[in-house]
Amino acid sequence: MGMLCSFIRFENLHELKRLCHWGPIIALSVITICSVVAIIDSIFWYWPLDSAGGSVNFIMLINWTVMILYNYFNAMFIGPGYVPLGWKPEKPEDMMFLQYCKVCEAYKAPRSHHCRKCNRCVMKMDHHCPWINNCCGHRNHTSFTLFLLLAPLGCIHAAYIFIMTMYTQLYHRISFGWSSVKIDMSLARRDLSPVIPFGLSAFAASLFALGMALGTTIAVGMLFFIQLRVILRNKTSIESWIEEKAKDRIQYYQTGETFIFPYNLGSKWKNFRQVFTWTGIPEGDGLTWPVREGCCWYSLTVEQLKQKKDKQVRSVQYRVIENYGGACCPVTKGIKTFFTTPCSEEPRIELQKGELILATRGLKHWMYGDKILEGGGTTEAGTKNRGWFPRRCVEKCVYDNGTDQTEGKKGR
């Protein structure tokens, strides 16, 4: 009963709208197709009522489906947990170590980040996953990781059923001649149980489901190992990126600092227990976290503040020289730009000739930045004037001296 309650526990019914998104629609379609075809094929190949092995095979197949859907919906509807609106640390002097979110009108708790899609500050945010149309964070990290583990295992079982079904069905329909091999898909099975027609359409459905199962096994399996790697280090994907930027900042300025990631407790088992517990409820309240010796609660947030200041110093101003409509994969901006579009749900921004952009990061053919407003300011998080744009649409602003650009950044 407790598991059922946690499954149907929504903040309110409007959470059901998360299903109306291309990510859940595709994910649930793949799960449905593989499960239904595997159940039907298991009847062809290993009739469950004839032997104990057939019964175990059928029960395991149903069990995979139930467990996959249970963890999938838990990850989607329970959600990552959000920093309370208006939150601030108990000690006022600690506010100087934290970033302030103007959207949520609250301080960002350690390990939390603002998600533009959810429009909230997410506790221990790992990433926003389009397949569950929600963030992966503190409360649903366990369910999300279990889903990534169970989905490939279930697909491996289903793929084995597809292969054995097609093999056994074709075996009874192949006839060898002197010069050719013929397959007659109209012939009925020679054995008497079960008597269910297996024609060309059933063979095509099994082959299609096999391709989906193998593709899911590879893709989701890789995501599972990535998640397991960060869990054993007690990191999130965002924190791994912050750590890399810390090393880059220290090397760039030659400060002689040594950044130690504060949440790695020094033991893989202890790190594992931060996410996976016997009760299924992650440890902690999502606002305060245990740290290793030599670090304080705000070691990571202080590094984030340093990187934010460094980002303002090292960002580069560009001028738009070619209009861009904000398309995800623009056809008119070159083949390389089309095929190297960032694999992210982060927005694209429209550009008009003459506008100024403050670029903060970039790829070979794409850049990410903020539009500079007429008053000299840049856009805030959550607006549509921050995002990706093709590199070929802009050119770097050239100054005779550093005065204008320096004053512009101070104004921002």
Residue 304 lies in a domain: no
Please indicate, yes or no, whether residues 217 and 329 belong to a single structural domain of this protein.
Answer: no
Q: Which residues are catalytic?
A: 129
399 close to 380: Cβ distance less than 8 angstroms: no
Please indicate, yes or no, whether residues 46 and 153 belong to a single structural domain of this protein.
Answer: yes
Burial label for 367, CB within 10 Å (0-12, 13-18, 19+), is: buried
Please indicate, yes or no, whether residues 219 and 319 belong to a single structural domain of this protein.
Answer: no
Residue 308 falls in which region: left (phi positive, over 0), alpha (psi -120 to 50) or beta = alpha
Please indicate, yes or no, whether residues 25 and 152 belong to a single structural domain of this protein.
Answer: yes
| Domain containing residue 377: CATH number | 2.30.30.40
pLDDT tens, residue order, the chain (412 aa): 454 454 444 444 567 888 989 999 999 999 999 999 999 988 888 888 888 988 999 999 999 999 999 999 999 999 999 999 999 999 999 999 999 999 999 999 999 999 988 999 999 999 999 999 999 999 999 999 999 999 999 999 999 999 988 888 777 665 444 555 455 555 444 444 444 556 778 888 999 999 999 999 999 999 999 999 999 999 998 998 899 889 888 888 888 888 899 999 989 999 999 999 888 888 889 999 999 888 888 999 999 999 888 887 888 899 999 999 998 889 899 999 998 888 776 789 999 999 999 998 888 899 998 888 765 555 544 445 888 999 999 999 875 444 444 444 444 4
Q: Return d(Cα 33, Cα 219) in angstroms, integer.
A: 17
Task: Provide the domain limits for residue 357.
Answer: 315-411
Residue 120 lies in a domain: no
290 close to 265: Cβ distance less than 8 angstroms: yes
Please indicate, yes or no, whether residues 321 and 227 belong to a single structural domain of this protein.
Answer: no
Tokens of residue 369, six digits: 């930045």
Burial label for 339, CB within 10 Å (0-12, 13-18, 19+), is: exposed
Question: Which residue, 211, 232, 253, sits at the end of a domain?
Answer: 232
Please indicate, yes or no, whether residues 55 and 177 belong to a single structural domain of this protein.
Answer: yes
Please indicate, yes or no, whether residues 199 and 328 belong to a single structural domain of this protein.
Answer: no
pLDDT of the residue at 376: 53
Question: Which residue, 213, 232, 251, sits at the end of a domain?
Answer: 232
Please indicate, yes or no, whether residues 44 and 175 belong to a single structural domain of this protein.
Answer: yes
Residue 167 lies in a domain: yes
Please indicate, yes or no, whether residues 62 and 175 belong to a single structural domain of this protein.
Answer: yes
Please indicate, yes or no, whether residues 319 and 228 belong to a single structural domain of this protein.
Answer: no
pLDDT of the residue at 363: 84
Residue 51 lies in a domain: yes
- In the chain, the number of structural domains is 2
Residue 260 lies in a domain: no
